[in-house]
């Protein structure tokens, strides 16, 4: 069976969660709570998240009960040999089920918060490398679009700043889907490309960079912003293509969050209202991300291997086109299938990151 000490630690935590799960169910049955729409929504959300791990835990407890019953028959000298033989088989089967369920619960226990995130803000920015970096940012954008399509995630373009050759100086997307952060959460960091740029006349290999941030999009209950007191709004004309409306109507929005200094700019060709709504969503995500980062630093100051942390200063991956190689530096993984990866086939890469991340989190249980 799985290591007993680790299993015991998991079971202790699960018993705490089971008590909370039952307490929530009891609270939801109280008339005064059932009639409180805001409270019942909060409780239903938490109850649903806990159900994901409570269901396998109940199966685990039943499997252990079956093992105990079977072992009692094996130990009973009065049982006939055929009955004891069947009991040995049942005990072995029960242990196998319990082990599988324990592994499932361990994973759910350490990933439940990530699994509950169904919407993220994905920001891609060109770094060092000029026009080539902007073209690389476009490549990353296209790669993620293809991957999201394969996973069935929906993608909304929030804002984009194109470059002269068709790249992106910056592009911001909203991606929605079940467990989306469990897949895209590992993409935050510095991405480096090594290739011969289209602008290179002598065939020399250049190194350019782009940064990616993956920010959970919070619900209103997760983060509170006083839009009147804490945020300064600047309105201006949106530059660039778009006809007379762009030049005459003040539709571009820039929001400044005074407590954190975070700023967000949005420019739509026509609608100031749409710009404001999009800018607020991105601002909330950035404030939420800053809050989570601060909490994480306080909670685990010694942890330096920030897989999926969204730390944009960290170089996480290199894309070497001449060798058809993609290297993830966090787990020292080389994949010689860059052509397929750029087509959105990220499963092998992300599964390896998920496996490593799970192992690291389990060590800290």
Residues 43 and 109 in one domain: yes
Give the pair of three-digit tokens for residue 147: 């991957």
Sign of the torsion angle spanned by Cα atoms 109, 113, 116, 121: negative
Residues 217 and 309 in one domain: yes
Residues 90 and 239 in one domain: no
Output the 3-class SS for 73-111: HHHCCCCCHHHHHHHHHHHHHHHHHHHHHHHHHHHHHHH
Using one digit for the tens of pLDDT, what is the confidence trace for 67-113? 999 999 988 888 888 888 998 999 999 999 988 988 888 877 777 77
Q: Which of 100, 115, 130 is the last residue of a domain?
A: 115
Q: Which of 115, 136, 158 is the last residue of a domain?
A: 115
Give the pair of three-digit tokens for residue 59: 């199966």
According to DSSP, the residues that pair with 31 across neighbouring strands are none
Walk along the chain (365 residues) and give the pLDDT tens digit of each residue: 446 666 677 888 888 889 999 999 999 999 888 888 888 888 888 888 788 888 889 999 999 999 999 999 988 888 888 888 998 999 999 999 988 988 888 877 777 778 778 899 999 999 988 899 999 999 999 999 999 999 999 999 988 999 999 999 999 999 999 889 999 999 999 999 999 988 777 778 889 999 999 988 866 546 778 888 889 998 876 655 444 444 456 678 899 999 888 999 888 657 888 888 888 888 888 888 888 777 666 544 433 343 444 344 468 999 999 999 999 999 999 999 999 999 999 999 999 999 898 888 877 76
Number of domains in the chain: 2
Residues 226 and 263 in one domain: yes
Give the pair of three-digit tokens for residue 318: 């290199």
Cβ contacts of 239 within 8 Å, gap of 6 or more: 246, 252, 267
Q: What domain range is 226 assigned to? A: 117-365
Q: Give pTM, 2 decimals.
A: 0.69
Residues 306 and 242 in one domain: yes
Residues 94 and 202 in one domain: no
Say which CATH number the domain at 223 has: 3.30.70.1660
Residues 37 and 164 in one domain: no
């Amino acid at each position: 069976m799985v290591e007993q000490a680790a299993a015991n630690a998991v079971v202790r935590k699960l018993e705490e969660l089971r008590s909370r799960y039952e307490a929530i169910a009891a609270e939801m049955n109280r008339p005064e709570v059932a009639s409180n729409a805001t409270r019942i929504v909060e409780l239903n959300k938490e109850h649903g998240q806990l159900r994901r791990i409570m269901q396998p835990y109940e199966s685990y407890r039943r499997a252990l009960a079956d093992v105990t019953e079977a072992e009692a028959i094996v130990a009973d000298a009065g049982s006939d040999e055929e009955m004891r033989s069947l009991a040995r088989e049942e005990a072995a089967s029960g242990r196998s089920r319990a082990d599988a369920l324990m592994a499932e619960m361990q994973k759910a226990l350490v990933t439940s918060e990530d699994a509950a995130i169904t919407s993220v803000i994905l920001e891609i920015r060109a770094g060092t490398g000029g026009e080539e970096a902007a073209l690389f940012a476009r490549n990353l954008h296209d790669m993620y679009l293809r991957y999201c399509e394969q996973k069935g995630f929906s993608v909304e373009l929030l804002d984009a700043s194109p470059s002269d050759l068709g790249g992106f100086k910056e592009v911001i997307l909203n991606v929605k889907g079940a467990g989306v952060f469990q897949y895209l959460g590992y993409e935050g960091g510095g991405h480096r490309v090594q290739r011969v740029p289209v602008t290179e006349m002598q065939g020399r290999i250049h190194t350019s960079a782009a940064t990616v941030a993956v920010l959970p999009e919070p619900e209103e209950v997760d983060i509170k912003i006083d839009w009147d007191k804490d945020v300064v709004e600047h309105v201006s004309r949106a530059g660039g293509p778009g006809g007379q409306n762009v030049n005459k109507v003040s539709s571009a929005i820039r929001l400044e969050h005074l407590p954190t200094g975070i700023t967000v700019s949005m420019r739509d060709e026509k609608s100031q209202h749409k710009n404001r709504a999009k800018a607020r969503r991105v601002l909330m995500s950035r404030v939420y991300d800053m809050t989570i980062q601060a909490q994480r630093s306080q909670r685990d100051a010694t942890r330096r291997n920030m897989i999926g942390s969204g730390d944009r200063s960290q170089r996480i991956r290199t894309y070497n086109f001449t060798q058809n190689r993609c290297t993830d530096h966090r787990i020292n993984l080389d994949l010689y299938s860059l052509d397929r990866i750029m087509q959105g086939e990220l499963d092998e890469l992300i599964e390896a990151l998920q496996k490593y991340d799970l192992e690291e989190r389990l060590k800290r249980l």
